[in-house]
Amino acid sequence: MKKPAITNAMTVDVEDYFHVSAFNKVIKPQNWDELELRVEMSTNRLLDLFAEHSAKSTFFTLGWVAERCPNLIKRIVDEGHEIASHGYNHQRATEMSPQAFKKDVSDSKRKLEDISGAPVIGYRAPSFSFNDSNQWVYETLIELGFKYSSSTYPIEHDHYGVPHWPRFKHLRDEGIYELPIPTLKKGEQTKGIGGGGYFRLFPYWLSKKRIDRFHQEEAKPYSFYFHPWEIDPEQPLIKEASMKSKFRHYVNLSRMEAKLVKLLKDYEWQTMSKVYFSDES
């Protein structure tokens, strides 16, 4: 089967199972070092899969992970992928003061660049936590030397979402690009098709149908996001979490890797920088 001509952006949010926002009421940051670290193993598995299928990706990585897994950061860059920031401690931008946000992002950028030896120009906020209430974040990113953000999801969601914001790559007034998570338009509503839990929940044929429709209707690159813990069905069960959070986190983990392999076979994948900025001099 011939792959579509459009090259898409693969992205991985490099965090472990205990970092996710859905568990932050039962797992505190001060206890993270007491838990089993599995992110290095699962991310190395992803790197093996990407190499097997000639795919490149942008890895939005926590500074906390980089500090504990420096060899993983070096491998990501050595194999031609892009390293980008996901903040340091997986705090939502909506829950930080301007001073705390600047320190979190600055610390992560410095750590990632020191370990990788590569410039970090991309940022993704945990839980897509940029919205109308904190647009000052973009000035901070500009000040810290970032070129782009991928921190908005223009849908309605109980944890995030800015449905009235632009759906496609755009240059903001501050001078930084925002690359939103992809959506499909249905009337006045937008549907999320970017990956993550939606991709695990739905059968692969439906996800593929939506990606193909996006290509046909918009004639633009598609970007996909997910996390290393999503291919790790053996991860510990967080029993104290709510039923809703557990369903969202654990649904179809055992099927994710096989779905991902199909995705890698069916489409061409590159980094965010190569897909969205390769035409710039």
Query: What average pLDDT score do residues 178-204 get?
Result: 90
pLDDT band at 56 (very low <50, low <70, confident <90, very high): very high
Amino acid, res. 124:
R
Does residue 2 surpass a pLDDT of 90? no
Burial 126-160 (b: 16+ CB within 10 A, else e): bbbbbbeebeebbebbeebebbbbbbbbbbeeeeb
Contact criterion met (CB below 8 Å) for 246 and 238:
yes
- Of residues 160, 254, 263, 143, the one with CA closest to residue 207: 263
Better-predicted residue by pLDDT, 275 or 158: 275
Does residue 55 surpass a pLDDT of 50? yes
CA distance 60 to 179: 13
Query: What average pLDDT score do residues 20-43 get?
Result: 94
For residue 188, what pLDDT is reported?
76
Extract the tokens encoding 35: 């838990």
Does residue 157 surpass a pLDDT of 50? yes
Reported as a single tens digit per residue, the pLDDT across 22-32 is 898 899 999 99
pTM for this predicted structure: 0.95
Give the chain's mean pLDDT: 94
Better-predicted residue by pLDDT, 189 or 58: 58
Above pLDDT 70, what percent of the chain?
96
Reported as a single tens digit per residue, the pLDDT across 194-249 is 998 889 999 999 999 999 999 999 999 999 999 999 999 999 999 999 999 999 89
Does residue 158 surpass a pLDDT of 90? no
Reported as a single tens digit per residue, the pLDDT across 100-152 is 999 999 999 999 999 999 999 999 999 999 999 899 999 999 999 999 999 99
CA distance 38 to 150: 25
pLDDT band at 3 (very low <50, low <70, confident <90, very high): confident
pLDDT band at 281 (very low <50, low <70, confident <90, very high): very low
For residue 154, what pLDDT is reported?
87
Structural domains in the chain, CATH included, are 7-277 (3.20.20.370)
